[in-house]
Amino acid sequence: MPLNFQDVGVVVLAASVFLFLKRKNKEKYALPPSPKGRLPLLGHALQMPTSHGWFAFERWGKELNSDIIYLDAAGMGIIVINSYQMVKDLFDSRSAIYSGRSSFTMVNELMGYDWTMPTLPYNSKWKSQRRLFSKYFSASNTPAYHPRVREFTRLMLPKLLASPEDFITHIKHMVGAAVISMAYGMPIRAKNDPNIKIAQDSLDQVLEAFIPGRYLVDTIPWMKYLPKWLPGTGFFEDARRGRETMNRLLDMPFADAERHIANGTARPSLVSMALEEIRDMEDPKQIQDAILELKEVASVFFGAGYDTTHATITNFILAMTLFPEIQAKARKELDTVVGSDRLPDLSDEEKLPYLRAVLKEVVRWRPVSGIGLPHLSTEDDVYNGYYIPKNTLIIPNQRGMLFDPKIYPNPEEFSPERFLSPDGLSHNQEVRDPQTIAFGFGRRMCPGFHIALSQLFLSAACILATFEISKAKDEEGNVIEPPLDVAAGITSHSLPFKCVIKPRSQKTKELIQSAAADYEA
């Protein structure tokens, strides 16, 4: 039965009352406290840190005596959270409205990375990509990733033996080769493998574009409509190069993988296993969509884990350089549990509580994701008496949480013992595991964190078992102290540093060569 005018009037009146009450309800709650210096139109845009943002966020939190702060960046609402419990309350307990992502004009629109799992909004495409990855690389499916982690770790050791001064290069190649192998199943041996190079080029361009303040078009999106000949529009050329790299990243390694599969030289991988199922599909459109999704997930595999994993392993080398007494203690545990007749393996991890504590402390002491990618609120909300508007960026200050003195006393100190029980045989359950912070939160938590942790553990264990690490000296015999600062960027890389990495004995040299020979034949 059609509505009459009276019915329409009732509906309009009810809607008006609802909106009025909703607006009045918002007025009861204030936004979280903000730093001073907010300007008309620009807000806090000129105060937004362009590097090492976690320090500014910590400082503002202390000045305002609040673990939650609000920033207005030229009309864009940003909330920074310095409290682990607050982040858990929002990203876990209220994940339905705090799992979104904002669209980044430069990366998503101009460079074309509007398909990557880390930057996708919480939608059906994101869920489908996540399911595809988890189907083949769940934490419980260790046969899918443990063998590759073991192989490429053992292949790295002879490189460290031959040119220890290039340790960062060797670590990068180990992590990149393992990830490419798991994703595409191609043999990766050459130092300058083109598939690793294209993945690295893509990652470098994206991470550069994500640096806050790097491109004004992210703050003023309408600039994307400006003529390309105008001064100040050089970002268009960067975007063009980025889009070219993105297209090569999607197509080049996938085409190589298909050739190896056709030639019978491919190893089991995400691509080979998924293609077997795609071949059983009959609908051409379904096949086309499935192949595109497979290309996207395989491409993201590299970027999502490579940068943070090799940075963390490098931080482990830095810690061992700076703290020889901790290095010696971890090595003694290894010698006791593993012995000297074989290399450590992933099955040894549970029997090495001190080394595990060392690695937890590495993750806490040198967090490679100081703030990570912001979440986006998809609905209005009220939390702890504060109003959080829809479409607000929510930045978890991970570095601030990992240096919270209430949770980690003397946070600047490198102390693995903080994670051990009084008897030193297990994890101290009263101290928060930093891995629950370092890999993200809620539904956006890194899906491949277990692979990264496996690479971190085995590389650390094998390096300690076979090498001794110490500070380098200059030509005059003076000790060279490694710098403790980190490079600016989304990922907090240690600044380049020198150290001495030498084999423990002739026996360990032979052990390294013997273990690697099993994979080089």
> Which token pair is 361?
């402390």
Phi, psi at residue 431, to the nearest 5°?
-110, 130
Give every CB contact of residue 184 below 8 A, 6+ residues apart in sequence.
195, 253, 254, 256, 257, 260, 266, 269, 270, 271, 298
* Contact between 466 and 343 (Cβ < 8 Å): yes
* H or E element in which residue 76 lies: strand 76-81
Q: What residues are paired with 369 via a beta bridge?
A: 491
Angle at 305 between CA 83 and CA 119, to 5 degrees: 65
Closest by Cα among 192, 194, 195, 182 to 266:
182
Sequence ranges of the binding site for heme: 446
DSSP state letters, 389-438: -TT-EEEE-HHHHHT-TTTSSSTTS--GGGGB-TTSSSB-TTS--THHHH
Listed as own residue / partner, the contacts of 157-161 with beta carbons closer than 8 Å and 24 or more positions apart are 157/343, 157/462, 157/463, 157/466, 157/512, 157/515, 157/516, 158/512, 158/513, 158/516, 160/463, 160/467, 160/501, 161/503, 161/509, 161/512, 161/513
Closest by Cα among 482, 435, 484 to 167:
482
What's the CA gap between 371 and 361, in Å, rounded?
Answer: 18
Residue with tokens 């690479």: 455
Sequence ranges of the binding site: 446
